Each structure stands twice: as C-alpha cells, then as structure tokens.
C-alpha cells in the first residue's frame, strides 16, 4: 500500500541521524497535546531516546516525503532473542492462542511513528507503517501506545492486538498498552 506522491525511504543507523532535524518538527506538531501534559514527551526527550534507539540491533527508519517535505516517519529496532524472552513469556501467559516458537526468537520493536497533523487521515501513516514492517525478518512486532491515543484504534485495524497494559520501558514513562502483530 502506498499513497500518490509519497516518497518512502529506508535509513539505517548510520544515515538516520541526518533525518532527525526534519523529524523533530513532525514529532512536536503531532504530539503537541501530550507534550504540554507530560515532560516525558518533550522534544528534547525524543532526541535523547532517538540517540539511544539508533544503537539498537537492526535499527531501521522509514521516512515519508511529499513534495520535498518530510511529512512522516516510523522507526524501530530488534530486541534480540535472549532479551525478547520476557515478551514471549507474556504472550504465552496472556494470549494462549498466539503461536510462539519453542526457543525465543527476536522481536521487532516498533518505537516511534508520526505524521504531520495537516497530512493525517490520508493513508500516509499506514503506508509508512507498512513500509517499515514489510521487510522485517522478525516473526512479530511489539509497540507501546497510550491507551487513550486515537492511534491505538488504527493499530487495531492494522492487525495489532493487545498484549498487556503496563509502564513503559523508561523510569519516567507513563502507562502504555503493549500491542503485538504477527509479521509472517
Ligand atoms: C498515528 C498516525 C501516525 C497515523 O498517521 P495517519 O497518516 O493519520 O494514518 P492514515 O491516514 O494512514 O490512517 C489511515 C486512515 O485514514 C483514512 N484514509 C483517508 N483517506 C485515505 C486514503 N486515501 N488511503 C488510506 N486511508 C485513508 C482511513 O480512515 C484510514 O483508516 P484505516 O487505515 O483504518 O482504513 C498519526 O495519527 C499521528 O501522527 N498521530 C500522533 C502521533 C502518534 O500518536 N503516534 C503514534 C504513537 S504510538
């Protein structure tokens, strides 16, 4: 799935930092409400987390550009097998019907995702989301979304399902819904 005129580009950890200054305004505009409410979401924190995230295994960023303007992005990285085992255990406990491997396999962590507010609701986000997940070789993906975030409904329509409601993976993180999606 793509949308007319949208240029989708993949960036690895070496190239992604060059995109950060273009991503931050999209982040700030698309998260304006929550930035005002919770310091965890301040754009400087986004930059700090990005610097840490790009060091993750298999880091990948997809940007969406329309008429020369970056209008959206999504990125994530791999949780390697031994560090992924807690997630597999949670899947076994909470979603007994979900297929799980005999030995823990890596999991793709879908970390950040945004589209400029003026460009939302036109399919660009879905195209960026799909472009990032399409080439991944991990069997499943995992993400955190605030329970009240309207994006949660999109994820549910795009094949994600709820695994748990829990505190995010940083000391100052709020409560998130943890969602998973099969990539096979
Ligand atoms: C979440 C977010 C990235 C989604 O981006 P988006 O560009 O608005 O998403 P899309 O437009 O692809 O959503 C698709 C919906 O748009 C609508 N749509 C309108 N025109 C469309 C078109 N031509 N093609 C496809 N979908 C279209 C459909 O209702 C579609 O719903 P569906 O995919 O469930 O069928 C965006 O809302 C955002 O930046 N939110 C704030 C930041 C945020 O919360 N990020 C997530 C953190 S976990």
CATH of the domain at 59: 3.40.630.30
Q: Are strands 7-11 and 60-66 parallel, antiparallel or unpaired?
A: antiparallel
Query: Is residue 2 a part of any domain in this protein?
Result: no
The total of structural domains in the chain comes to 1
Query: Is residue 170 a part of any domain in this protein?
Result: yes
Taking the CB of residue 158, how many other CB atoms lie within 10 A of it? Answer: 14
Q: Are strands 175-182 and 107-115 parallel, antiparallel or unpaired?
A: unpaired
pLDDT value at residue 9: 98
Q: Tens digit of pLDDT for each residue in 15-56?
A: 999 999 999 999 999 999 999 999 999 999 999 999 999 999
pLDDT value at residue 172: 82
Q: Are strands 140-145 and 107-115 parallel, antiparallel or unpaired?
A: parallel
Ligand 1 pocket at CB < 6 A: 3, 30-31, 113-115, 120-126, 145, 149, 151, 154, 157
Half-sphere exposure of residue 79: CA atoms within 13 angstroms, side-chain side: 20
Query: Is residue 1 a part of any domain in this protein?
Result: no
pLDDT value at residue 152: 98
* Owning domain of residue 120: 7-182
Measure the CA–CA gap between 93 and 75, rounded to whole angstroms: 28
pLDDT value at residue 120: 97
Q: Which residues of the chain have pLDDT under 70?
A: 1
């Amino acid at each position: 799935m793509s949308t007319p005129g949208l240029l989708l580009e993949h960036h690895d950890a070496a190239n992604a930092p060059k995109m950060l200054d273009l991503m931050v305004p999209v982040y700030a505009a698309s998260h304006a409400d929550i930035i005002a409410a919770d310091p965890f979401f301040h754009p400087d924190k986004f930059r700090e987390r990005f610097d840490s995230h790009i060091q993750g295994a298999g880091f990948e960023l997809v940007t969406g550009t329309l008429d020369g303007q970056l209008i959206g992005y999504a990125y994530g990285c791999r949780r390697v097998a031994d560090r992924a085992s807690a997630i597999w255990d949670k899947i076994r406990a909470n979603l007994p019907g979900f297929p799980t491997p005999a030995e823990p396999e890596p999991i793709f962590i879908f970390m950040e995702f945004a589209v400029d507010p003026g460009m939302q609701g036109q399919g660009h986000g879905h195209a960026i989301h799909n472009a990032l997940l399409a080439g991944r070789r991990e069997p499943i993906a995992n993400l955190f979304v605030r329970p009240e975030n309207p994006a949660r409904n999109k994820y549910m329509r795009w094949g994600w399902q709820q695994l748990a409601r829990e505190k995010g993976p940083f000391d100052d993180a709020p409560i998130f819904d943890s969602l998973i999606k099969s990539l096979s």
